[in-house]
Structure 1
Amino acid sequence: MPRWLWFLPLGLLVLFGALQAFRLGWIAANLTESETIAAYAARYANQEGAGVENWDCLARPGDTVWLVIRCGTPRAFWEYRVNRFGGLVGLSPPGQATREGGPRT
């Protein structure tokens, strides 16, 4: 068996890691806040059903996450905590939303 064949699995693993790093960098460089908010607003509209509009959502920067997106009425809202790659880190249903970044006593 040729010696280079022994290193083929290592080479494939390095190539796979490099492609994943490139992919994550591409996503981070091209993902905008507006696209992320629109995606979670559409998710909220699908989740809640009829009578809900996409513009019932607003977003703010988070302390430990990239964005905190709130959808719903001021009294009952869903809170989506999103990382820099657009992935959902945490979800709080109405009545259980956290007050991240607020006063702590």
Structure 2
Amino acid sequence: MSRHRLAITPFLNCESLFLSEDIKSLLHHQFIRLSDIEKDVMSWLVNQPKPVSLSQLLDHLQLSPSAVLNAMQSLARRSLIEKQEQDHQTLFSVAPGVKQYVKTQPSPS
């Protein structure tokens, strides 16, 4: 997967983009493997207009810190979330292309 990750990362960071069927397929295969907690994290993050702190995430999800940290590590390994340092704080966000993919997927019934 790392070869594909390197190939699509620049496209996923574009603000306005067309997601090809190949990229949608790659993202689909990543998303079907997510745990419920990882899906909850992604669902909340894609609706945030700006990067959020871990404490904001913990406050919203009200899950154990270890469960959320494990989910965040897993999502970061899959390159589904991004981390950035700002004012001595780590903030998390979702790349625009991934956000677009998640928002255009039908909600599970």
Check whether TM > 0.5: no
Larger relative contact order (CA 8 Å, sep ≥ 6): 2
**TM-score, normalised relative to structure 1:** 0.25
Structure with the higher fraction of residues in helix conformation: 2
Structure with the higher fraction of residues in strand conformation: 1
Whichever of the two has the greater Rg, that structure is 1
